[in-house]
Amino acid sequence: MIDVQGTPLNRPRLLGIDEFSTLTNLRWRSWGSSKATATGHVNGVWCDGRCPEGGFPATVELSGLDDRENVSYYTRARVVSAGLPHERAAELSELHLYVPEP
């Protein structure tokens, strides 16, 4: 995972997971192995006033670790939250993360 300047991220507290959704207040239980797991909140432009303040409680799992030179990138993400609208829950269940070209 990288930020908008292309800098690799390490245990980010805030993460734009796709063009419509943001994960906030992330607390990482694991990082650096084949899977990284965190809890936090998810919200986005799709909330349109329907989300609780701060967003829905959520768990994110990153996987598909791709090693490049001296940096590794997670290539997939899955966000789970009981409060999400059905269509957003389906879209966030399997995301492909951007990885820079080698």
How many Cα atoms occupy the beta-carbon half-sphere of 33 within 13 Å?
A: 7
d(CA 45, CA 69): 36
Q: pTM, whole model, 2 decimals? A: 0.89
**Number of domains composing the chain:** 1
pLDDT of residue 68: 81
Task: Write out the DSSP string of 11-76.
Answer: S-SSEE-SSSEEEEEEEEEE-SSS-EEEEEEEEEGGGTT-SPTT-EEEEEEEEEEEEETTEEEEEE
Write the pLDDT tens digit of every residue in 16-70: 888 889 999 999 999 988 999 999 999 998 888 888 888 999 999 999 999 888 8
Q: Quick check: is 101 in a domain? A: no
Average pLDDT rounded to a whole number, residues 74-96: 92
pLDDT of residue 84: 87
Q: Quick check: is 46 in a domain? A: yes
Confidence band of 4 (pLDDT split at 50, 70, 90): low
Q: Quick check: is 91 in a domain? A: yes
Q: Quick check: is 4 in a domain? A: no
Quick one: which of 44, 53, 47 has its CA closest to 95? 44
- What domain range is 81 assigned to? 15-96
d(CA 90, CA 18): 13
Strands 21-30 and 36-44: antiparallel
Q: Quick check: is 42 in a domain? A: yes
